Amino acid sequence: MNKWLELILGLILVVGAILVAWYSTMWGGFWNFRHAAWEFLKGGVFWFVVLIGILFIILGISDLKE
């Protein structure tokens, strides 16, 4: 695919997603994509912190063996 076509298509998709999320608050609770994106981001941050904690525990156990 042409590099300019890829850039324009990507820009259209990103701007379209932002506009849909922005205007979805007027469509009611079920169609509120901005709220869904916020919940997904909070869940991702939670699991990132948990996995970093597990990584530190594994590294600590590995250091105790030496």
Per-residue pLDDT of the chain (66 residues; tens, 9 = 90+): 788 889 999 999 999 988 888 888 787 777 888 888 889 999 999 999 999 999 999 999 888 877
Contacts with 33 (C-beta within 8 Å, 6 or more apart), sequence order: 20, 21, 24
- CA 10-34-23 angle, 5° bins: 80
Q: What is the pLDDT of residue 41?
A: 93
> What is the reported pTM?
0.63
Q: What is the pLDDT of residue 36?
A: 86
Token pair, residue 2, equals: 């042409």
Q: What is the pLDDT of residue 63?
A: 86
Question: What are the sequence ranges of the domains in the chain?
Answer: 3-65
